[in-house]
Structure 1
């Protein structure tokens, strides 16, 4: 069985842009706002880029859950800071410890994934207060409407230093993904890569699924070269569900055929 070349995060353009935003926040002057926002549709690789930055700058990173409360949010942040907390501590106690822990090394950003939920659950003010009093850079990651949601919070919209809209993958990004996820002995030509990119909507997650299908095609047929002609009429993964089927709930009775 062939192996891929993945040894870590793939350096796509969104990864580079996310790192640039992180460094801008870390190196900002003390009087400048401390928030960065990465936003865009799902599948563009926002979380992937944040994990790369997390490793590079030793950031603390949390992903907001559907059932989180104020206390859950603070406990998760403190867990990332390596703090041990008591169940009896109030939200105020947790917040004070979080400010001190985050501020202890303000060069380590706090990355908050699924940040839309912070606004939806009225928790964004907790994070704003933590950032304001600790001075730590905070990067919020969310869907395309996250900037609009933040603009509805009076004390948030002017605290964002950098807005980063994640971009769809281009052909160069798709080549990088193919290099990482398809065995090195298999060459994939640009016509197929561009078709995969387009049919995937430029979304890295879908591109990787289609590259996996291409790798399977190559393995099953012994191909060392893949192009659009060899791909033929194989389906592309687009993320769309199958069309609704017309199936009778109660099939009509039909006359039985007697075979003599």
Structure 2
């Protein structure tokens, strides 16, 4: 199966919001929050968008405030100064006037003080900070009015479950398989709308289709490949 990236409705919405945030005038609310269940494609979407423009950093579990700022400074300008304040100062100096988006994945792992550091960077540079996490992220952000007030309602992006149409498109582009609507519905139902599970399901169906020598996939073939008995 080929490694592909498809523009689901979630991705299209995030792309639009990031574009709006980049165009937001400095001094106005323009941070972004993205959240959803694990496996819905948030990380893949943010990595694809940052590759077009921006910086990306995954927050590691248990990281200290200084280490986090050093990691971010390294992403932005390739250096790791000693001390949180110096890191922040150099990041601000490097980014000022650029409006370059910064994607922070697993942001719900961060101590709230580190998110305050990101708020400082946003306030001083106007560069959009895109905070990406699981479903508890909004609650954490709402605990600090200074943070949540910088995230307009239209910049709050819940990642929903993938649609059946996304399943059909992914199977076609990644595995050159044509799913019937019934076949796509079965994969979608088994995956419960989680993109990671869709990937695994299509991988199993691809193997079964190769053995059968077909690329047009019926519901019966999906049932066989995924062990569905209903």
Q: Partner of 1:160: helix, strand, or coil?
A: coil
2:168 and 2:178 in contact (8 A); partners too: no
Alignment of 1:175 onto 2:171? no
Q: Partner of 1:155: helix, strand, or coil?
A: helix
TM-score normalised according to structure 2 size: 0.91
User: Residues 82 and 31 from structure 1, CA distance in 2 versus in 1: closer, same or farther, beyond 3 angstroms?
Assistant: closer
1:123 offset after TM fit, Å? 1.8
- The aligned length equals 226
Alignment of 1:38 onto 2:40? no
Corresponding residue number in structure 2 for 1:19: 15
d(CA) in 2 for partners of 1:16, 1:9: 12
Match of 2:207 among 216, 219, 227: 216
d(CA) in 1 for partners of 2:215, 2:203: 15
Alignment of 1:190 onto 2:186? no
Match of 2:87 among 75, 79, 94: 94
1:199 and 1:236 in contact (8 A); partners too: no
Corresponding residue number in structure 2 for 1:249: none
d(CA) in 1 for partners of 2:125, 2:71: 17
User: Residues 196 and 91 from structure 1, CA distance in 2 versus in 1: closer, same or farther, beyond 3 angstroms?
Assistant: same
d(CA) in 2 for partners of 1:31, 1:94: 22
1:23 offset after TM fit, Å? 0.3
Within 5 A, what are the aligned runs for 1:109-258? 109-119=101-111, 122-161=113-152, 162-182=155-175, 184=176, 186-235=177-226
CA RMSD across the alignment: 1.8
1:9 offset after TM fit, Å? 2.2
* Structure 1 residues 110-133: Cα deviation after superposition (integer angstroms, max 9, x where no partner): 1100000124x6421111111111
2:11 and 2:45 in contact (8 A); partners too: yes
1:113 and 1:140 in contact (8 A); partners too: yes
* Structure 1 residues 134-162: Cα deviation after superposition (integer angstroms, max 9, x where no partner): 22111000001111111112321211021
Q: Partner of 2:37: helix, strand, or coil?
A: coil
2:35 and 2:137 in contact (8 A); partners too: yes
* Structure 1 residues 8-40: Cα deviation after superposition (integer angstroms, max 9, x where no partner): 521111111110011010011334212101111
Alignment of 1:75 onto 2:67? no
d(CA) in 1 for partners of 2:36, 2:120: 25
1:112 and 1:139 in contact (8 A); partners too: yes
d(CA) in 2 for partners of 1:210, 1:109: 34
Higher fraction of helix:
2
Unaligned runs of 5+ in 1: 238-260
d(CA) in 2 for partners of 1:236, 1:164: 35
Corresponding residue number in structure 2 for 1:62: 57
1:179 offset after TM fit, Å? 1.5
Query: Which of the two has higher C-alpha Rg?
Result: 1
Q: Partner of 1:85: helix, strand, or coil?
A: coil
d(CA) in 2 for partners of 1:187, 1:91: 53
